[in-house]
Amino acid sequence: MLMSAPPPPEPECAALPRTAGSRGEAGGGRTGRKEAGEEGGVSGGYLDSVGRLLEGDQHVPVSPAGRVPGSELRRGGQSKGTVRVWLKRDSGQYWPSIYHAMPSPCSCMSFNPETRRLSIGLDNGTISEFILSEDYNKMTLVKSYQAHQSRVIMILFVLEMEWVLSTGQDKHFTWHCSESGQRLGGYRTSAGACGLQFDVETRHVFVGDHSGQVTILKLEQESCSLVTTFKGHTGGVTALCWDPIQRVLFSGSSDHSIIMWDIGGRKGTAIELQGHNDKVQSLSYAHHTRQLISCGADGGIVVWNMDVERQETPEWLDSDSCQKCDQPFFWNFKQMWDSKKIGLRQHHCRKCGKAVCGKCSSKRSSIPLMGFEFEVRVCDSCHESITDEERAPTATFHDSKHNIVHVHFDATRGWLLTSGTDKVIKLWDMTPVVS
C-alpha cells in the first residue's frame, strides 16, 4: 500500500513479496542509495490500534546544484516539515484528516495510542508534544521541550514512568517529565545516538551511537549511572530493539550486521546475524513467534527465526603462517627466507576462526546457525563438515522496493509500516511470514 502527497486513492495493504533471485541478493541489488535526510523523505510513521496512520515528513530546500525531487519550499527558501494523520475510510482508502505544519523539519516521532500523545522531534532540537482528539481529526499542542541544541534523533515515551527520553546530534541523551515538562537529567554520549530502548522493570536505558558502541545507563528520578558498554560493531549503531521477556537486546549497524546481546543469560553471549547488503535501518521483534524483523537501506526486509539455537562466531586467530598448510604469510620474512617461499595473504575461516591461506580456504558456504545467511569463506575441512541440514536457511528475504528510513510493526494484526527516502509509506501484511 503506497501513500504520498498529494493523496491519491490508496489500495489495501499488500502481502510482503519475496526478494527475486538468490538469498545472496537481498534488496534486489538496488543502487543509487542515499542516506536518510539527503533527500526529502518520510522521517517517521506509526500505526495505531485501529489502523490510523501518523506520519512526519521533512523536505530540504533547493540547492544551487539542482532541485531535489519532490522538495517543498517556504518563502525565502526555508525547509518545511509537516505532520499528517491518515484515516482509513469505509471505502478502504486512506485519506489525511490532519495536515499540520511545523516550525522546523520533523526528524523523529513517537506515538502512544493509549493516551493519544504524539511527541515530535524537530531539527532545531525541540520536542513538541500534541494530544490527538478521539476522532483523530484534531491535534492540540500541549507543551514543548527544548531538549537538545541541535537535531533530535530519537524519541521514546515511557507511559509507566511518564518520561520522555530523547537523543540528539548534540551527543546528549536526555529525559524529561511528561507531566511537568521539567528536564530530569542527561548524559553525554561518545557520538550522536540513533538507537534508544528502555526496560521499564529495571529502569535501564540502552543508547546506541555512531561510534559503534551501546551504552547502558541506570535511570533514577533525577540522576543516572553508567552500567556498562557493549562494543561489537565496526560501524555506527543505527537501530536497537529490546525484548523484555527473553531479556535480549538486538543492535543493527551501518556495518550491515545485527548483534543479539543475551543480557538475561549473564554469560556475555553475542550472536551475529549477517543478512543485509547495506546498513540496518530498523529492528522490530515479534514476541509471540520469536521472530526478528530487520529492514535495511538496501530495501531488504529480513525475517529471522530466533527460536533456533544459534552459535557465536569464533574469534579470529592470529598467526604468522597458515594454520592448515604452514605456508608463511607475507609479513613473516624469517620463514619466507628459511623456506625459500613467497609469503601469502592471510584469510580467516568464518566457522573455526583459524588463519588460513587462500588455497586452504577456496570453498564458500552459508552457515545460518552462525548468522551467515549468505555464503562466506570457510576452510576446506570446515566446508566438508557442514551438513545440508546446517545450511538450511533460518531467515526469509523480501524486497520493499524503496530505501527504508523508518519501520513500525503492529504485532496484533501482523502489519508492518515502512517509510522511505522516496516519501512513500507502505503497509505490509506480514501474517504469511510472521504467524
Is residue 33 over pLDDT 50?
no
Domain 314-393 has CATH 3.30.40.10: yes
- What CATH topology corresponds to 2-313+396-429? Methylamine Dehydrogenase; Chain H (2.130.10)
Has this prediction a pTM greater than 0.85?
no
Q: Is residue 337's pLDDT more than 90?
A: no
Please give the Cα distance from 277 to 268 (Å, whole number).
Answer: 27
Q: According to CATH, where is 3.30.40.10 located in the chain?
A: 314-393
Closest CA to 107 of 117, 120, 89: 120
For residue 71, pLDDT beyond 60: no
H helix or E strand, kind and range, residue 83 = strand 81-88
- Average pLDDT of the chain is 81
Q: What is the pLDDT of residue 54?
A: 63
Question: Cβ distance 347 to 361 under 8 Å?
Answer: yes
Least confident of 32-46, 105-119, 266-280: 32-46
The residues of the chain that CATH labels 2.130.10.10 are 2-313+396-429
Only one residue has cell 552459508, namely 366
Residue tagged 506520519 (cell numbers): 55
Question: What is the model's pLDDT at position 220?
Answer: 86
Give the CA count within 13 Å in the CB-facing half-sphere of 202: 17
Q: Residues 199-235: pLDDT tens digits?
A: 999 999 999 999 999 999 999 877 889 999 999 899 9
Bridge partners, 79 (sequence order) = none
Give the residue-averaged pLDDT of 338-363.
87
Residue 4, pLDDT above cutoff 90: no
The band of 20, judged by pLDDT with boundaries at 50, 70 and 90, is very low
Highest mean pLDDT among 119-133, 266-280, 330-344, 374-388: 119-133
Nearest to 13 by CA among 44, 40, 47, 43: 47
Q: Return the pLDDT at 23.
A: 36
| pLDDT per position as a tens digit, 410-430 | 888 889 998 888 888 889 999
* 342 pLDDT tier (thresholds 50, 70, 90): confident
- For residue 44, give the nearest of 109, 95, 91 by alpha carbon: 109
Amino acid sitting at position 182 = Q
The residue written with cell numbers 500523545 in the block is 117
pLDDT at 65 over 90: no
Confidence of residue 31 (pLDDT cuts 50, 70, 90): very low
